[in-house]
Chains A and B, each alone.
Chain A
Amino acid sequence: MILDMRSFWRTLDRGSLRDISLVCLADAIVGASFGAITVSGGLSPWVPIAMSVLVFAGGAQFAAAGVVLAGGSPAAAAVAGLVLNARLLPYGFTVADTVGGRWWTRLLGAQLITDETVAFTLRQHEPQRRRATFWTCGLALFGCWNVAVVLGVLAGAVLRDTGSLGLDAAFPTVLLALVLPSLADRSTRNAALAGAVIAVAATPFLPAGLPVLLALAGLVLARRPAATVADTNPALEARRCP
């Protein structure tokens, strides 16, 4: 694609390829549960598939679909997803030089920016290795994620009762695993716990989707600035040791 594919493989060491494969496997499980849960919850099969190709951000997809499945408005679903995806903005600046200078590599590369890809890219220091890592990880994840979602959709159409398989526990667990490392920072933890209490307390009274947005009020407790984005970003930390 951008460079000759063989030089790509030579540039990436075996350890990186193994780590990338492990994350692809993990994301495939998450993607399959996304497809199965959304379809068995009552959404049309094209919804999770379109979201996975166009949005390509697991947390936001689960959040938006979760709001709609709980009976919330589509607007609240889109806002919840967008607030979650605002973190991709600084990521874009971080990997801007790696994505490349030609307009079409920027257009294509931008869609591949995810927590995982940025985390793997930042582990490399040499520009050529960074490029190889970014494109390999980005394209592999995009492929695995979307194939897994389609398989999940097919499975979800057969399994009417995903509850008996405990699949509804998969989504919060994925998010918990992503956010745990960032909660080591006390200021972030205080804000996050306050937000969680607010959201759960508001759930009986507010339309679905709003309680989670209300949790952002917990941000007032995060007065002391945390160290750096890379240190505090949940997903970057979580995926560093997949």
Chain B
Amino acid sequence: MPLIAIAVLAAGTYAFRLAGPVFRHRIHIPDRVQRLLATATAVLLTALVATAALTQGHGFAGWARPVGVLVGGVLALRRVPFPVVIIAAAATTAVLRLSGIP
């Protein structure tokens, strides 16, 4: 990953963060835009979950990873503490691989 990509991402992110504290009295973000940003975040995160869980390169990632993610998701829905959710997901995937499921 080249430095320029990291610099662009970092500078843009900092600009998003700094705009509020600097322009708080001069700009008001319309509610509609705020809602759109919140929904766009959810859409993007869900798409990332789906592609990262199911695919590797241009193909299927195998069953071990999505099953681990599914176990983590069920635990998260049951409001299990966050660290436990992550460890359970990784452990499930690791055990499945150990037993021969890729």
Structural contact, B46 and A193, CB atoms closer than 8 A: yes
Q: How far does the Cβ of A93 sit from chain B's closest Cβ, in whole Å? A: 4
Structural contact, B38 and A166, CB atoms closer than 8 A: no
Structural contact, B21 and A92, CB atoms closer than 8 A: yes
Using known A-B contacts A57-B13, A164-B98, determine if residue A74 contacts B2 with beta carbons closer than 8 Å. Answer: yes
Structural contact, B82 and A166, CB atoms closer than 8 A: no
Interface residues in B70-98 (C-beta closer than 8 Å to A): 72-73, 76-77, 79, 81-83, 85-87, 89-98
Structural contact, B9 and A82, CB atoms closer than 8 A: yes
Describe A's contact surface by its main secondary structure.
Answer: helix
Interface residues in A72-89 (C-beta closer than 8 Å to B): 74-75, 77-78, 80-89
Select one of B20, B32, B39, B45 contacting A219, CB under 8 A: B39
Structural contact, B47 and A196, CB atoms closer than 8 A: yes
Structural contact, A173 and B73, CB atoms closer than 8 A: yes
Question: Is A167 in contact with chain B by the CB < 8 A criterion?
Answer: yes
Using known A-B contacts A29-B87, A166-B89, A222-B39, determine if residue A50 contacts B18 with beta carbons closer than 8 Å. Answer: no
Least CB separation from B94: chain A residue: A166
Least CB separation from A182: chain B residue: B42
Select one of A77, A97, A100, A187 contacting B1, CB under 8 A: A77
Structural contact, A70 and B72, CB atoms closer than 8 A: no
Question: Is A183 in contact with chain B by the CB < 8 A criterion?
Answer: yes
Describe B's contact surface by its main secondary structure.
Answer: helix
Structural contact, B53 and A192, CB atoms closer than 8 A: no
Residues of A near B49 (CB, < 8 A) are 172, 175-176, 179, 196
Interface size on A, as a range, is 35 or more
Structural contact, A241 and B9, CB atoms closer than 8 A: no
Structural contact, B42 and A192, CB atoms closer than 8 A: yes
Interface residues in B24-57 (C-beta closer than 8 Å to A): 24, 27-29, 31-32, 34-57
Residues of B near A176 (CB, < 8 A) are 49, 53, 69, 72-73, 76
Select one of B1, B36, B44, B83 contacting A26, CB under 8 A: B83
Select one of B2, B21, B35, B59 contacting A204, CB under 8 A: B59
- Contacts A30-B86, A66-B52 known; 8 new A-B pairs at CB < 8 A: A166-B96, A169-B89, A173-B90, A176-B69, A179-B49, A192-B45, A192-B46, A212-B44
Question: 30 pairs across A/B with beta carbons < 8 Å?
Answer: A50-B6, A55-B6, A56-B13, A59-B48, A63-B48, A65-B1, A66-B52, A78-B9, A86-B37, A86-B40, A87-B38, A88-B13, A90-B38, A96-B24, A113-B20, A166-B93, A172-B69, A173-B69, A175-B45, A176-B72, A179-B45, A183-B46, A191-B42, A192-B42, A192-B45, A199-B51, A205-B58, A216-B44, A233-B41, A234-B45
